C-alpha cells in the first residue's frame, strides 16, 4: 500500500446484552435482569477488553463504532461515553467516525437520545418492527406504533443519520397489507431502512408455536412476492436495496455493516461479540463468552472475554468473502476472491449460474447476484464455493 492509500476501514462492534423483556421471535444474545445492572462495572470491563484487543493488534484508526444488542438504549450515556473514551484512548477515533447505537423506540429511551448525541453518537437504528399495534403485541413488543413513530421523530430531529427496522413476511400478512405498511414507513423514514423477513429461530417461543402449527408462515411464493414488493417500493422512494435486507439513499449506507460485508477488519467487544482481526498478516476469527456475568468475571480475571480465537485458512476466508459480499447489490471483485483462495472462481459454474439468471457480471468485472438469485442466495454461494 502506498502512503497515499487511505487506511482500510476498521470497525468496533460493542455488544450490550440486556433487554427489558425477551421478544418471542428473537435469538440474539440478550438477557433480562430484573435486579438491575451494575453499569459502571460493565463499563470498566468493556474498557479493559478494548485495551486488551488494542494490545494484541496494535494501533488502528477506528472508522466505525456500532453499539448493538440486546438493547443498547438501556445504557446510560455515561456508560457509552466511557466506552468511546476507551476506544479513543487505545486507538484513534477518526474525526468522521460513524458511531451508531441501536435503540428500542420507547419514550423512555428517546429521552436519552440528546445525551447520546452530546457524547458523539451520530447515528441511531430503531427497532420499530411494525406500525400495527396488534402485530406489535403479537411480537411481544413493549411499545405501540404511535410511541415508535414519536421516537423516530425525536431521532430525526436529533441525529443527522437514522434508520429503523421492520419485520415483514409475518403470519397472515398479505402483499397488499405490507405495501400499505411499508408506504407509511417510507413516509416517516430518514435515509435508511432495514427490512427483515421474519425467521423462525430454533429454541425461541415462536419456534414452539410454529412446531405446534400455530404460526401460519408465508410460503416461498408469498415470501418472494413480499420481497419483490419491498424492493420496488423502496427503490421508487429513493432507498434502493444495497444489501439483501438493507435500503438506503445512495451514500447513506451503514458504513459499519459494510465493513462486515466487504470482508473488512473489526473488533468484537462485549459478551458474545464476534471479531475478525488481522494479526501479523493472519486473519483471525474471535468470539467472546456469551453469558454476561461469566464474561464479566472472565474480563476481570483475564483482561478479556475471548473464548474463540482461530486463524482462518485461505478457503475459510474466501468462503466468508463470498457469503458476505454476495449479499451486497455491488457484488464482489472476483480478483479479490482469487487472491484470498489462491485460485479463481470456476468459470463453468459462473456461466451456468448466469445462464439460470441467478448471477451477472458487471461492465467493470464484478460478480453480483440478480433479483431472481437473491431468494436462493445460500445455494448460489454454496455452488460458487464448491
Interaction of residue 270 with ligand SF4, rule CB under 6 A: no
CA distance 142 to 196: 19
Q: Cβ of residue 127: shortest distance to ligand SAM, in angstroms?
A: 2
For 162, list phi and psi in degrees, rounded to 5: -150, 155
Residue 271 contacts residue 295 (beta carbons within 8 Å): yes
Q: Which does 198 bind (CB under 5 to 8 A by kind): ligand SAM, ligand SF4, none?
A: ligand SAM
Angle at 255 between CA 265 and CA 240, to 5 degrees: 130
Q: If you ran DSSP here, which 8-state letter would residue 127 be given?
A: E
Q: Which does 22 bind (CB under 5 to 8 A by kind): ligand SF4, ligand SAM, none?
A: ligand SF4
- Residue of this chain nearest to ligand SAM (CB atom): 127
Residue 304 contacts residue 298 (beta carbons within 8 Å): yes
- For residue 217, how far is the Cα from the chain centroid? 24
Residues that contact ligand SAM, how many (by CB under 6 A)? 16
Contacts of residue 15, Cβ cutoff 8 Å, sequence gap at least 6:
29, 68, 69, 70, 268, 269, 270, 271, 272, 273, 288
Half-sphere CA count of 93, side-chain side, radius 13 A: 19
Interaction of residue 28 with ligand SAM, rule CB under 6 A: yes
Interaction of residue 70 with ligand SF4, rule CB under 6 A: yes
Q: Cβ of residue 139: shortest distance to ligand SF4, in angstroms?
A: 8
Interaction of residue 128 with ligand SF4, rule CB under 6 A: no
CA distance 36 to 15: 17
Interaction of residue 71 with ligand SF4, rule CB under 6 A: yes
Interaction of residue 30 with ligand SF4, rule CB under 6 A: yes
Q: Does a cis peptide bond (omega within 30 degrees of 0) precede residue 70?
A: yes
Element (H, E) at 83: helix 77-90
Q: Which residue among 105, 127, 325, 334 contacts ligand SF4 (CB under 6 A)?
A: 127
Q: Which residue among 23, 152, 166, 324 contacts ligand SF4 (CB under 6 A)?
A: 23
Q: Which residue among 11, 69, 218, 334 contacts ligand SAM (CB under 6 A)?
A: 69
Binding pattern to ligand SAM, positions 96-135, x when CB under 6 A?
A: ------x-x----------------------x-x------
Interaction of residue 292 with ligand SF4, rule CB under 6 A: no
Contacts of residue 371, Cβ cutoff 8 Å, sequence gap at least 6:
228, 231
The contact set with ligand SF4 (CB under 6 A) reads 19, 22-23, 26, 28, 30, 69-71, 104, 127
Amino acid at each position: 500500500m502506498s502512503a497515499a492509500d487511505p487506511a482500510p476501514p476498521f470497525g468496533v462492534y460493542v455488544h450490550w446484552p440486556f433487554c427489558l423483556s425477551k421478544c418471542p421471535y428473537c435469538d440474539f444474545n440478550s438477557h433480562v435482569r430484573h435486579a438491575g445492572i451494575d453499569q459502571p462495572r460493565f463499563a470498566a470491563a468493556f474498557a479493559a477488553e478494548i485495551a486488551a484487543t488494542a494490545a494484541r493488534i496494535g494501533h488502528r484508526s477506528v472508522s466505525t463504532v456500532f453499539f448493538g444488542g440486546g438493547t443498547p438504549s438501556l445504557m446510560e450515556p455515561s456508560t457509552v461515553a466511557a466506552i468511546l473514551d476507551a476506544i479513543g484512548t487505545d486507538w484513534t477515533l477518526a474525526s468522521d467516525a460513524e458511531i451508531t447505537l441501536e435503540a428500542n423506540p420507547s419514550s423512555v429511551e428517546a429521552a436519552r437520545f440528546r445525551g447520546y448525541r452530546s457524547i458523539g453518537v451520530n447515528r441511531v437504528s430503531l427497532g420499530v418492527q411494525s406500525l400495527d399495534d396488534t402485530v406489535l403485541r403479537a411480537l411481544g413488543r413493549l411499545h405501540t406504533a404511535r410511541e415508535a413513530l414519536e421516537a423516530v421523530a425525536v431521532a430525526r430531529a436529533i441525529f443527522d443519520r437514522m434508520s429503523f427496522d421492520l419485520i415483514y413476511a409475518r403470519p397472515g400478512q398479505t402483499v397488499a397489507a405490507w405495501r400499505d405498511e411499508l408506504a407509511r414507513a417510507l413516509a416517516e423514514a430518514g435515509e435508511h431502512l432495514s427490512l427483515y423477513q421474519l425467521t423462525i429461530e430454533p429454541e425461541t417461543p415462536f419456534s414452539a408455536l410454529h412446531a405446534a402449527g400455530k404460526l401460519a408462515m408465508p410460503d416461498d411464493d408469498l415470501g418472494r412476492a413480499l420481497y419483490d414488493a419491498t424492493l420496488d417500493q423502496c427503490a421508487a422512494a429513493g432507498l434502493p436495496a444495497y444489501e439483501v435486507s438493507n435500503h438506503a439513499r445512495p451514500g447513506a449506507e451503514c458504513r459499519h455493516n459494510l465493513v462486515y460485508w466487504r470482508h473488512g477488519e473489526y473488533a468484537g467487544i462485549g459478551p458474545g461479540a464476534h471479531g475478525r482481526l488481522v494479526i501479523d498478516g493472519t486473519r483471525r476469527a474471535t468470539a467472546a463468552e456469551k453469558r454476561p456475568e461469566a464474561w464479566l468475571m472472565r474480563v476481570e480475571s483475564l483482561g478479556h472475554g475471548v473464548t474463540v480465537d482461530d486463524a482462518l485458512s485461505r478457503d475459510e476466508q474466501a468462503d466468508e468473502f463470498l457469503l458476505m459480499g454476495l449479499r451486497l447489490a455491488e457484488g464482489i471483485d472476483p480478483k479479490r476472491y482469487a487472491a484470498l483462495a489462491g485460485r479463481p472462481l470456476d468459470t463453468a459454474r459462473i456461466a451456468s449460474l448466469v445462464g439460470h439468471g441467478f448471477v451477472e457480471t458487471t461492465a467493470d468485472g464484478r460478480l453480483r447476484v440478480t433479483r431472481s438469485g437473491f431468494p436462493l442466495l445460500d445455494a448460489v454461494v454454496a455452488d460458487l464455493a464448491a
